Structure 1
Amino acid sequence: MDRTVLLHYRSVRLGLWATGVVLAAALGVWLQAPMDSSAARMPAVQSTQGTPVRAKTLQRVAQGDVPNPDGAKAGHAASLVEMAPDDPALLTLFWFSGERESGPQVQIVAAQWLRATQAWTAPRTVVNRHAMGELLGHGIRRLGNPVAWRDAQGRMHLYVVATGGGGWAAARILHLRQKGPSQALEQLQFEPERVLPLSWLWNTSFLVRNGPLPLDDGGMALPVHFELGAKIPAVLRLDREGRLVGMARVSSRDHVLQPALLPLGPQHWLALMRDESLKHRVAVAETTDGGRRWQDLPDLDLPNPDASVAAWSLGAGEHLLAYNPIESGRERLDLARSHDGIHWQQQLALRTGQVEDEFSYPALLWAEGSLWVAYTVDRARLAWQRLAPQETP
């Protein structure tokens, strides 16, 4: 590269970094503005034949690949949502799929696990970036990281990472709402509600990744992170319609992101986070007042290679974590269990491969007496596993 061009390139990158740091600092102050305390809707204690399910009894009972859309070479960032008890589908799975991550053909697709067939349907595009851009009145360059939620009325919402110019650091969070009455996959449609108003700089550089924490009032807490110049995790407070009513910064650190919320009590939650520093550990922060104030805790004694984690509570002190348990690479994906969210033990290895393999971005959901795990394989497709309680000798 020509020296003049190289110097210009470096100065542009430095300028963007400095701008990001200044913006992150300003947002860091803003995100500490008080937010109303919230009470999590604690999960019902799962039981089989009247006996509470213990995480250590979970064993794999089924697994496989999720069907890929025709011609798709990339698939990533799973989000699982449970359907209504009388729906023909038990689960709906959303992810982004196309020719490559950040590619112009990437769309948000979905598949459903049908109760009758005990199998996934063929996937279908549910968010097309060109059509969505026309509805919004401005272009969308990239789509990614869908997060699904069914509200108190049973309506489906999607919170999707969308960019105009720039890369993921220039992303915004687009709120989409179900259009029409049907949630059958062949009829499921979404329309834009709004770009979430999260910052004074055109709402730039906020992303979603992990699923929401349901609240007692019918709303939810949605974990997000800011990414330009520094990584700042935050929690959004949304009402029963999915509208933003508050925000709080989760960690004072500027190198942790993609928080996964784990409720230990109605107002006592943990945020387990990916850490891009050289510590190679799962980071953690705690709130004891329903998300209003957070404090950092010592890192968990769990290796992590700067990779996304997923958490789930079965209630009664039975908690689960899916994560990459190595300091470098993503060729292994494990499930761990804990009674307090701080001290963890391996439950089982979900996937193990070679150094060049990748099993990443897990999503967890408890439905129909089983733990469902969805995750990315080599950034090319999604895979799933179903774990159920098995009596151990």
Structure 2
Amino acid sequence: MLQYKKQSKWLAATLLLGSIVMTSCGSKKTETAEDKKLDSLANDKEFVFGDQRPFPQCHASTLVRLDDGQFLVAWFGGTEEKNPDVGIWLSKGRPGHWSEPIEVAKIREDAHWNPVLQKTADGKVILYFKVGKEIAQWETWVKTSSDNGGTWSEAYELVKGDKGGRGPVKDKLIELSNGDWLAGASNEVNRWEVFVDRSTDKGKTWTASPYFKIDTMEIKGKGAIQPTLWESKPGEVHMLVRTTGGVIGRSDSKDNGKTWSTIKKTSLPNPNSGIDLAKLADGTLVLAYNPDDHNWGSRSPLSLILSYDDGQNWTDKIDIATGKKEDEYSYPAVISWGDSVAVTYTYNRRKIAFWTGSKKDIVDLAAKKSSI
């Protein structure tokens, strides 16, 4: 009888141990093909040009998607930012197939900055860019193309004789539901000031708004620059801005961008680096930014985050470029079509990186990250 009890205890212990081992093994999630696809997508950047580039440094990219699915990507390139040899460069193509960069704009031997591409409803492509060594003395110049970037017009000043950065300063302009074009603009003289430039005649003439008020109790330092805009419903326009206060700022308008609320802080961190967003067909916002809350803080990683309520709350965050704290993945440009987005950004001032994915990709990646 005693021997039987010992055998029974041994058998029970063996079964329990086996159960624990099987449970432990079963709890380890097997990586599926979908998991591998998501892991690949999170790091699935490519470079618009290779190491044999005709300029040592590059920065501040912009992009548009053409009707045939190709993209135009532009940036400024030269010895380094502010150097007289810096010009505006352009490449055309799609993932895996990019044309060799060409210098598409060089007005004179003076620094060129911050190109912004726009595709109009009639298919014309417009390129805006800044010229001048100091930001306070910037001139905004324009070139146009009627053949998807194959050939370009002679350059002309957006607002002849005006200084300080008229028109879009970094991010794409938007066309409002009433047909007006609205460009996020800024100037950097004593303080950093935000304004908008409006055209009611498809870019022939422009009218600048007054500088926006900033809540200096919430946003410390010099101020705010480089707005990114969206229209949530007819007449209701919003902007997020880069600031010196360690946060992204926000302002809103209920009259087609004619008057604006005081710029106040949001919950989103910002290391005084450029941002951009796009609005998807279903109203979802996709914001690209560096999530560091120190003024002149790290520009790594570069992240995407979504909002389903016009920027009141943000969720489903993913990183599309990660590295060391001293790396720079910055100045994103974001565009959308349907539920898809494409992003270009500065990669350590040596290359322009390109990333594309869908809203579902971002949501799935964020969910996978939160489950780890």
With structure 1 as the length reference, what TM-score do the two structures score? Answer: 0.73
SS of alignment partner, residue 229 of structure 1: coil
Following the alignment from structure 2 to structure 1, what is the Cα–Cα distance between the partners of residues 201 and 98?
29
Taking every aligned residue pair, what percent have the same amino acid on both sides?
A: 24
Partner of 1:205: 164
SS of alignment partner, residue 190 of structure 1: coil
Query: In the TM superposition, what is the alpha-carbon distance from 1:368 to its structure 2 partner?
Result: 7.1
Partner of 1:272: 240
Following the alignment from structure 2 to structure 1, what is the Cα–Cα distance between the partners of residues 61 and 186?
17
- The structure that has the greater radius of gyration is 2
Change (3 A) 1:297 1:229: closer
SS of alignment partner, residue 222 of structure 1: strand
Letter of the structure 1 residue corresponding to residue 134 of structure 2: G
Query: In the TM superposition, what is the alpha-carbon distance from 1:142 to its structure 2 partner?
Result: 1.4
Mapping of residues 240-389 of structure 1, within 5 Å? 240-249=201-210, 251-253=212-214, 255-276=223-244, 279-296=245-262, 298-327=264-293, 328-340=297-309, 341-367=311-337, 370-388=340-358, 389=360
Partner of 2:7: none
Following the alignment from structure 1 to structure 2, what is the Cα–Cα distance between the partners of residues 357 and 280?
18
Q: Is the 8 A contact 2:280 2:337 kept in 1?
A: no
Deviations 1:82-133 (A, max 9, x none): 212xx4x52111111112112222111111124xx75222211111233xxx
SS of alignment partner, residue 169 of structure 1: helix
Query: In the TM superposition, what is the alpha-carbon distance from 1:322 to its structure 2 partner?
Result: 0.5
Change (3 A) 1:367 1:313: closer
Query: In the TM superposition, what is the alpha-carbon distance from 1:275 to its structure 2 partner?
Result: 0.5
Q: CA RMSD in A?
A: 2.3
- Of 168, 174, 183, the match for 2:135: 168
Following the alignment from structure 1 to structure 2, what is the Cα–Cα distance between the partners of residues 249 and 346?
36
SS of alignment partner, residue 198 of structure 2: strand
Pairing 1:111–2:74 present: no
Query: In the TM superposition, what is the alpha-carbon distance from 1:216 to its structure 2 partner?
Result: 3.5
SS of alignment partner, residue 265 of structure 2: coil
Letter of the structure 2 residue corresponding to residue 272 of structure 1: L
Change (3 A) 1:326 1:66: same
More strand as a share of residues: 1
Moved over 4 A (4+): 390-393
Letter of the structure 2 residue corresponding to residue 246 of structure 1: T
Following the alignment from structure 2 to structure 1, what is the Cα–Cα distance between the partners of residues 185 and 291?
23
Query: In the TM superposition, what is the alpha-carbon distance from 1:346 to its structure 2 partner?
Result: 4.2
Partner of 1:8: none
Aligned pair count reads: 309
Following the alignment from structure 2 to structure 1, what is the Cα–Cα distance between the partners of residues 337 and 90?
18
Following the alignment from structure 2 to structure 1, what is the Cα–Cα distance between the partners of residues 357 and 43?
6
Q: Is the 8 A contact 1:232 1:249 kept in 2?
A: no
Structure 1 window deviating more from structure 2 (310-319 vs 352-361): it is: 310-319
Query: In the TM superposition, what is the alpha-carbon distance from 1:291 to its structure 2 partner?
Result: 0.3
Following the alignment from structure 1 to structure 2, what is the Cα–Cα distance between the partners of residues 267 and 215?
8
